[in-house]
Amino acid sequence: MEDGIMVQGYDIVSYFNEKPLEGKASITKRYKGATYQFHTETNLTAFNANPEKYIPEFGGYCAYAMGARGELVDIDPETYKIVNGKLYLFYNAYFNNTLKKWNKDETNLLKKANTNWKELL
């Protein structure tokens, strides 16, 4: 989270539409202490109607790192997965795409990530 802006400024509603799009600094919403940017006013309206539907899991940190080690690791906003209607984000840099690792053991990692996240809170 940079300067309180979530998901590096990407529009979290856009993940559920077609593909992740960068938000605009002119279309923002403050929610639970974080600032979200949106690509369109329509996406902001969708967020306002049901914010919890769009909020990424684990505070927007890497789901794999949360499951594997209980660590808060930054993400690549274009490396993501939606599972059961929830948005999971992943680190992807320096030949280390953690989404691939996640996919190999998703059930186990998801359980561990949920447990580790509750302990961090």
Q: What is the pLDDT of residues 45-66, one digit of tens each?
A: 999 999 999 999 999 999 999 9
Containing 36, the helix (H) or strand (E) segment is: strand 34-38
| Model confidence at 27: pLDDT above 70 | yes
Neighbours of 107 (CB within 10 A): 7
So what's the pLDDT on residue 2?
53
Name the band, by pLDDT with cuts 50, 70 and 90, for residue 3. Answer: low
The Cα–Cα gap between 59 and 108 comes to 20
CA distances from 12 to 20, 81, 102, 104 (A): 7, 12, 21, 25
Instruction: Give percent above pLDDT 90 in the chain.
Output: 94
So what's the pLDDT on residue 4?
81
The Cα–Cα gap between 15 and 114 comes to 21
Q: What is the mean pLDDT of residues 2-10?
A: 86
User: What's at 103, amino acid-wise?
Assistant: N
